Structure 1
Amino acid sequence: MNAIIIGSLLISLLHAVIPNHWLPVLAIARKEKWPLSQTMRVTFIAGVSHVISTVAIGVVLGFVGAELMDSIEQFTRIVAPSILVLLGFYFISQHYRHHHFHIDKQQLQGKSKSRLIGSLVLAMFLSPCMEIEAYFLLAGAKSALLLLLIATMYAVISLGGMLIWVRLAYKGIIRMNWHALEHNAGIITGAILILTGLVSYFIG
């Protein structure tokens, strides 16, 4: 159980830092000359939309995990850790194929403010964090309480992280090579998934 919590925490933190979701919001806010207050409101709304879709899928997978636990005795011992390891290798392979999912801010520019915000919210809703979903599956197989904990932890960290990074970047307090961080996210994510799967298998 500890491996699931730690793995979920690391993925949530990584997801909050990676700029592929919140950086387009910041770029558009600067282009449209939005004040910080409006930028933060739009970030919050878009972030909530993103969290809702991610958690909704996660809860469904959690119930699936609970059902599998009841019907497959070895699910949490063998099957679930194997899913994590396989997903880890998948995300690493996607990195080397240069498949990176992000919001295309170019397609969002040139729209009215209401359509722009609506497009951002819809784009965030339609791009849930698939990296965390395997942890919902495992958590559901353990207990409903663990599933709730993972969902709450992910929501708070992801939304809070987006708001913090947008605020700091808007004010110019932080300057990082965001492209390099986003580019290597697949390797980092994959490594966390594989490590969690191995720990769950040998210690679980």
Structure 2
Amino acid sequence: MNSTFFTSIAVTGFAVAFLHAALPTHWLPFVLVGRAQKWSTGRTLGVTLLAGLGHVGLTIALGLGLVVAGLALEPRLGGLFHWVVGGLMVAVGLFYIARGRHNHALPEAGRRSYASDRAAIIALVTLLTLSPCEAFLPYYLAGMQHGWQAFLVLSAVLLAATSAGMLIFTSLSLAGFKRLGLQWVERYEETILGVALVLVGFAVAFFKT
């Protein structure tokens, strides 16, 4: 494994996953529902982590599907494969940049109260689980040629970045930091993710690993 090149992929992937987890849709609903249900800080953070695990789990499953499909196509493409992967990442990145600012509306789970804690937990976990971190998926393709070890490392990176981001911002909000200054994240998230994908895509295409 080209450790230097792969490290750059992993570090960029961590930043992308953490930035994605910093979006209010990934922590504010837990704060609002936790207060409405009168949960303790520990319980709110526990539900947040549980939802984060579901969120990461589905993303990893989708990433596994991409890697399996890529392994099936690689023998047919031969030396062109890294160009295809790099081009795909650049295309996805340009799509994010073109789409620009996106309206990340607060999920309905963050606006209503629930008759029981079980209903609240199921709603929060389900909503986040069914919205995987799609921006991270191309990184699985970028690391594919480094083998299954790279897949495991990237999955660990995704888990660490997402869990850290969700728990940190949930904790800060619960502690009374009402204005976390994250409006710029919502406004420029897709542009930042797009630029990161384009840069990694060019690296994959022009620096064969």
TM-score w.r.t. the length of structure 1 is 0.88
Equivalent residues in 2 for 1:138-177 (5 A)? 138-173=142-177, 175-177=179-181
- Give 1:57 deviation, angstroms: 0.7
Two-structure CA RMSD over aligned residues (Å): 2.1
1:79 is the counterpart of 2:84: yes
Q: Which residue in 2 is equivalent to 1:12?
A: 17
Is 1:123 the equivalent of 2:127? Answer: yes
CA distance in 2, matches of 1:140, 1:201: 13
Question: What SS does the corresponding residue of 1:13 show, helix, strand or coil?
Answer: helix
Question: How many residues in Structure 1 have an aligned counterpart in Structure 2?
Answer: 203
Distance change in 2, residues 1:176/1:99 (3 Å): closer
Please tell me the residue identity of whatever aligns with 2:16: I
**Matches of residues 1-204 of structure 1 in structure 2 within 5 Å?**
1-2=5-6, 3-96=8-101, 98=102, 100=104, 103-106=107-110, 108-173=112-177, 175-204=179-208
Whether the aligned pair in 1 keeps the contact of 2:17 and 2:133 (CA below 8 Å) is no
Q: Distance in 2 between matches of 1:101 and 1:81?
A: 31
Contact 1:85 1:194 in 2 (8 A): yes
Residue deviations 1:121-160 (CA, integer Å, cap 9, x gap): 1111100000011111232243111111111111122112
Amino acid paired to 1:90: F
Whether the 8 Å CA contact 2:10–2:157 is kept in 1: the answer is no
Question: C-alpha distance in 2, partners of 1:92/1:147?
Answer: 26
Question: C-alpha distance in 1, partners of 2:11/2:89?
Answer: 14
Runs (5+) with no aligned partner, structure 2: none
Q: For 1:73-118, what per-residue CA distance to the aligned partner results, in whole angstroms no more than 9, with x for missing partners?
A: 134431001111111111122224x354763335653443211110
1:76/1:10 CA distance change after superposition, 3 Å: farther
TM-score, normalised with respect to structure 2:
0.86
Secondary structure, aligned partner of 1:73: helix
How far the C-alpha of 1:190 sits from its partner, in A, is 0.6
> Which runs of 5 or more structure 1 residues have no equivalent in the other structure?
none
Q: Please give the secondary structure, in 2, of the residue aligned with 1:20.
A: helix
Task: Report the residue type matching 2:85 in the other structure.
Answer: A
